[in-house]
Chains A and B, each alone.
Chain A
Amino acid sequence: RKEVEQDPGPFNVPEGATVAFNCTYSNSASQSFFWYRQDCRKEPKLLMSVYSSGNEDGRFTAQLNRASQYISLLIRDSKLSDSATYLCVVNIPRGSYIPTFGRGTSLIVHP
């Protein structure tokens, strides 16, 4: 089983749609969770951290379910500019904590 798993997609949605991505992780001792965004041929950029109580930043909402070991990202009112790959990142304890990436979920928002 991979340490961090994501559905690669692509998710193809119209502008204005609501879309949700899930990510599962295998190590129950993991403590920190993040969503990054990666545009084509660019570096990953932090979108938001994911807190135990869930958190929201504008149109983006992140949630954590420790019992089921998954995190989610919800994007409301999708914009064309949201088209990108969304990377789930978990700090896995392996002696030291290592930011470990899922494969990423591709989102395409069309007019």
Chain B
Amino acid sequence: NAGVMQNPRHLVRRRGQEARLRCSPMKGHSHVYWYRQLPEEGLKFMVYLQKENIIDESGMPKERFSAEFPKEGPSILRIQQVVRGDSAAYFCASSPAAGEVTEAFFGQGTRLTVV
């Protein structure tokens, strides 16, 4: 039973390019959360998705960032026209159900470097 899979593990983009980060949840999990972690900082919530639905995107920057979780395939976090400040580790987590008692399982993260 594979865990949460994220790819790529490392991604280098030049300023102005697009970055696409992928997350395949654990088998049987239909809830996905994306977080961003800057160096020496905690994990900041970005967006919560269920299959084909964005449930909560209150942590997502209003511009350049988008997320989706299609019926088939992985969840995608997309960053358009990247800037140096987007350099961070992006973690995806999945859970089997929503609710107050659910614990989340994390992927290994994608480290984005904008040059």
Which of A's residues lie within 8 Å of B, judged by CB? 30-32, 34, 41-46, 49, 87, 89, 91, 93-104
B45 part of interface (Cβ distance < 8 Å): yes
**Would you call A102 and B42 a contact (CB within 8 A)?**
yes
Q: Which of the residues A42, A45, A99 comes within 8 Å of B33, measured between beta carbons?
A: A99
Q: Mark B34-70, 1 if CB is under 8 A from A, else 0.
A: 0100000111110010000001101000000000000
A81 CB, min distance to chain B CBs, angstroms:
20
Known: A87-B42, A99-B33. A94 touches B56 (CB 8 A): yes
Count of chain A to chain B residue pairs whose CB atoms are closer than 8 Å in the complex: 63
Chain B: interface residue count, which band? 20 to 34
- B103 lies within 8 A of chain A by Cβ: yes
Interface SS, A side: strand
Which B residues touch A49, using CB under 8 A?
A: 103
Residues A98 and B48 in contact, CB atoms below 8 Å apart: yes
Interface residue B98 (Cβ < 8 Å from any Cβ of A): yes
List chain B residues, Cβ under 8 A from A42. Answer: 108-109
Contacts of A99 in B (CB 8 A): 33, 45, 93, 102-104
